Amino acid sequence: MADIDKLKLVVFDIEGVLIPKNRFMFDVGRSLGFVQLVKMLFIGFLYETGIISLKSALEHIFTIMKGIEIETLAKIFIGIPKNPQLQSLFDSLKNRNCKIALISSGIPTILVKKMAGGLGADYAVGIEVGVNNGTLTGNIWGDVLEANGKNLVLRKIVNAEGLSWEDCVVIADDRNNSCIFLSGTYNVGYNPDFVLRVKADTVVSGELSKILNVIDRKPRPQSQLSKNDLLREIIHASGFFVPVLAGLVGVPIVAIMICIVSAFYALSEIFRMSRKSLPLISAVTRNAASPAELYEFAAAPLYFAVGILLTLLLFPPPINSASIAIFALGDSAASLFGGFIPTKQLPFNKGKTLGGSLFGFFFAFLAGVFFVTPLMALIAAAVAMTVESLPLPINDNILVPLSTSLVLMLVI
């Protein structure tokens, strides 16, 4: 681990850290029309599921983008909402005499350089794109497209500055950056995926300015419960009443209701990303979203709905009822109390704490005893909180209720 007192180079991934994840490609696809947007989204899905490589995905996407004017691309990029704390963060880093590098494997270098110039970053590296008479040719190349390409780029910057790995802090959010999460650098996962939760030295969520505490080697500040946090967890905990409602009106009716609400929510998010809104739903999202979700498609509620829906349809009562209640109340309690208990991050998942898991277990058990025996509730709560604490590739909003139900099926 790096000695943070000596850090001289701060390296940022761009998408998912400095700008909303996947927002650039989404806005470009939307400008090209619905059919082209769907094609780009499908290619992105193939990459996310590991079916095709990043290089192959980007080659297909930029082939679709062939003919678009580079100035149009620049306007789209500039129009993406930036984190409001971004400039103050970079100013603070410069005041600390840090060198700053922006490295992207999805955004053209010409656009990365525009961002770097505005923020005062020292290095800007992205993918190289072919341009003819001001329009994209569809051709792309560059180190960042290759396997371990970002590692090569970082090595060049470190050598150019005469630094060592111990002089670097790397901030990223997804597995594509695992090649620059090295043993010598100080690695910060910002709202990271399951791979970086394991590889990171520390995890930062919420406000981007928290990264400064890492640079300054300050202890993790005690979390402050915001109105957004409270509303989001109240909504999550309200899932406890879904099995109650299903017992009153029947599972089919509740399943249809979940599908309808989910469809309206997805439509609302698409509208919100287009700077429009649907009455009520968009307002709830704005007041319940996390800082990162405010600027991108907030998919967590859809995973939440899918997890509950599958549990209702695949398992009989009282198993489905107990699993949903345990998931809804336990997960909310873990999120609410995890930041307030002075315990360290879990070694196998830097985004979770022991205190949060213990509180989650307690409330999960209380929720379970409404539907099953205390012993069964104890077992189910233990399973739910264990799964919730693990860094797994499947979203825990889906995995927790399903795994809890499967275990209950085996022990009842």
Verify that 238 and 306 share a domain, yes or no: yes
From 147, 182, 215, give the residue that closes a domain. 215
Q: Is 153 in the same domain as 32?
A: yes
Looking at per-residue confidence, does 148 or 285 come out higher?
Answer: 148
**pLDDT score recorded for residue 121:** 94
The CATH number assigned to the domain holding 208 equals 3.40.50.1000
3-class SS of residue 348 = coil
Q: Report residue 119 as tokens.
A: 């923020």
In this prediction, residue 222 carries a pLDDT of: 56
The answer on 200 and 234 residing in a single domain is: no
pLDDT band at 337 (very low <50, low <70, confident <90, very high): confident
Mean residue pLDDT of the chain comes to 87
User: In whole angstroms, what is the distance from residue 384 CA to residue 375 CA?
Assistant: 14
pLDDT at 188: 93
Comparing CA positions, the residue from 197, 168, 245 lying closest to residue 4 is 168
| Number of domains, the chain | 2
211 and 247 co-located in one domain: no
Say yes or no: 249 and 195 in one domain.
no
Give the pLDDT confidence of 94-130 residue by residue, as tens digits: 988 899 999 999 999 999 999 999 999 999 999 999 9
Q: What is the span of the domain harbouring residue 246?
A: 227-411
pTM (whole model) above 0.75: yes
Q: How confident is residue 411, by pLDDT bands cut at 50, 70 and 90? A: confident
Task: Please check whether residue 93 is in contact with residue 100, taking contact to mean a CB–CB distance below 8 angstroms.
Answer: yes
> Greater confidence, 250 or 81?
250
> What contacts 24+ positions apart, CB below 8 Å, involve 130-137?
131/70, 134/69, 134/70, 134/71, 135/66, 135/67, 135/68, 135/69, 135/70, 136/62, 136/65, 136/66, 136/67, 136/68, 136/69, 136/70, 136/73, 137/66
pLDDT at position 221: 56
